[in-house]
Copies of this chain bind each other. A is one copy, B any other.
Amino acid sequence: MERSYRLVLSCPDRVGIVSMVSNFISSHGGSITDANQHSDPISGYFFMRVEINAASLPFSLERLREAFTPIASSFAMEWDITDSTQPKRVILMASRESHCLADLLYRYHSNELFCEIPCVISNHEDLRSMVEWHGIPYYCVPVDPADKQPHFQRVDELIREHDADTVVLARYMQILPTEVCDRYTHRIINIHHSFLPSFAGARPYHQAYDRGVKLIGATCHYVTPELDAGPIIDQEVTRVSHRHLPEEMVRLGRDVEKLALARGLRWHLEDRVLVHGNKTVVFA
């Protein structure tokens, strides 16, 4: 992988942003390898992502950030610059259902997902062997239904101890407490097994069966304190018919869950997802 710097920014839209940013880059000899921008006329916001060949710039990441700060300030940008060769640290959380976890582990193992996975956390022992085969530590943190607090406290500690950038709820099936959601805003990714906003909450495939829909789906989204209501990163659907019982919807749904989650996580890892309000801009 060629090393690149990824500049990601959003700010109120006005004349001259692209010019200022591209001047900054080209005046230092920077070679842009990918660039995307979006002006949203309804919110009046501007979004941009630029990949710059790192070798073409005379800067370390730190110095680049310093150098860009005045421009960012003058446009009131929310922004970040990351180094494409620095993998994000991603903790995966699961319960008993293994399909999303196995899929992410495979993509990680085969270098399709560029990240580090410091550990996997689950409330059950079932998936330990699969995880450990990949050389990844496995923490089983049981949930006491009568008092879930100790579980969440231990999860929170593990996230801190492992210095995670991102947490992926790969069919984790527990509702995170508000304080955890708030601490990791836009850094916790969930896969919900329905085409949101249809069938939020429990047993969505059974809800879908009862309603008699002809397509079922999955939604990859950032977690917010309100259940299944966070910013949507990606969605995927597949066709079903009267022949499909709920358990067959569950089976077919697994494949769309895996696809939507893997795609959403990949975009997140590559800093392609910008959040504004409760919506995402995805420079895929």
Contact = CB atoms under 8 A, between A and B. Distances in A.
B198 A214 contact: no
Interface residues of A, number: 66
A145 interface: no
A195 interface: yes
Interface of A: 15-16, 18-20, 22-23, 25-27, 29-42, 47, 56, 98-99, 102-103, 106, 110, 112, 133, 195-199, 211-215, 217, 231-237, 241-243, 245, 251, 254-255, 259, 278-282, 284
A25 B33 CA distance: 21
B37 A15 contact: no
Given A112-B251, A255-B259, A212 B18 contact: no
Given A37-B35, A279-B242, A23 B19 contact: yes
Contact of A56 (B15, B19, B106): B15
What is the predominant secondary structure among interface residues of chain A facing chain B? mixed
A217 B217 CA distance: 12
Contact of A243 (B38, B102, B242): B38
Most chain B CB within a 10 A radius of its CB, from A23, A47, A278: A23
Contacts of A18: 18, 22, 26, 32, 35
Contact of A32 (B39, B211, B235): B39
Given A103-B106, A215-B236, A241-B284, 12 more contacts: A15-B29, A18-B32, A19-B25, A19-B27, A23-B23, A40-B242, A195-B215, A212-B232, A213-B232, A214-B235, A214-B282, A237-B237
Contact of A15 (B31, B98, B196, B255): B31
9 contacts: A23-B23, A35-B37, A41-B245, A42-B245, A106-B106, A211-B278, A212-B232, A241-B282, A242-B282
Contact of A280 (B19, B22, B212): B212
Given A15-B30, A23-B19, A41-B245, A211 B232 contact: yes
A242 B281 contact: yes
Nearest to A221: B212
Contacts of A213: 196-197, 232, 235
Nearest to A106: B102
A66 B33 CA distance: 29
A195 B282 CA distance: 22
A98 B111 CA distance: 12
A111 to B, nearest CB: 10
Nearest to A13: B31
A36 B37 CA distance: 7
